[in-house]
Amino acid sequence: MSRNQAFTLVELLIVVVILGILAIIVLPKFSNASATARASMLADDLRIIRTQLEVFKGQHNGIAAGYPGGMSGVTPTYEAFISHMTLSSNARFDTADEHSAAFPFGPYLREIPTNPVNAKNTVQVIADGEPFPTSGDDSDGWIYQPSTMRFVADCSGMDDQQRAYVNY
């Protein structure tokens, strides 16, 4: 006489409970790892953008990106910032899609990167003399003030070390 060997309902329930407990223990570690990865990407993006802003300023007679026509003293604009960073340019701040002898500088960024924390890639350009925000509100991906060369993430919240994203 042969009996079919199979798991009983109780044995199956025990296995499911054990797997559930393991999932409860392991899943927070994975979600924390993704938050840490986003914070690390944010720090890297900021480092790259800030470096490219310095290169632009060095190649354009000490004038920061964002001023239309390269004239400090005029109100900086989002449009001027985007064209200065993503297109080729010359010493007169004219821009072109193609790098050539007439446009020897740049592009400094292929595109404005998406902020990995709030998933936005727009830049709030702060005019000269305006106060710089002390905290992020997630309305844009980034905040930039050409007169001070300050470029930060427009993120509310903190990383797992309790450091505000806007202070990266």
Of the CA atoms within 13 Å of residue 70, those in its CB half-sphere come to 17
- pTM value is 0.81
pLDDT tens digits, 32-54: 778 889 999 999 999 999 999 99
b/e map of 98-124 (b: 16 or more CB within 10 Å)?
eeeeebebbbbbeebbebbbbebeebb
Residue 124 has pLDDT above 60, yes or no: yes
